[in-house]
Amino acid sequence: MDIHFSRHARRRAKLYNIPESTIRTILAGSDLGVGNHELIREVAGFKYPIRIVVSVEDDKMNVITNYSLKRGRTP
């Protein structure tokens, strides 16, 4: 599946020091159907969980945004 990062998502990843490879790994391990999805995952090396908002269309994933949750809220 092709994964595309929006400009906003690339900027948020840089701001919160989240590597693209980490986001790709999380998305590869998720079985998502067509539509909009919100994923919250605990990732080793990060103090807080990471939230990823993604839109799935046919064979393409568009990462809309991703950021670290400051309040430590879990799914």
Other beta carbons less than 10 A from residue 45's beta carbon: 8
pLDDT tens figures, 7-58? 999 999 999 999 999 999 999 988 899 999 999 999 999 889 999 999 999 8
Q: What is the pLDDT of residue 66?
A: 95
Token look-up 């790994």 returns 25
pLDDT at position 41 = 93
Question: In the numeric block, which tokens belong to residue 23?
Answer: 């986001």
Distance CA 13, CA 35 (A): 22
One of 3.90.1570, 3.30.160, 3.30.2310, 3.40.50 is the CATH number of 2-68, namely 3.30.2310
| Rounded distance between C-alpha atoms, residue 44 and residue 61, angstroms | 24
- Residue 9: the pLDDT is 96
Look up tokens 């790709």; give the residue: 24
Please, are residues 49 and 72 in contact by the beta-carbon 8 Å criterion? Answer: yes
The pLDDT assigned to 5 comes to 97
Residues 50-62: tens digit of each pLDDT: 999 999 998 899 9
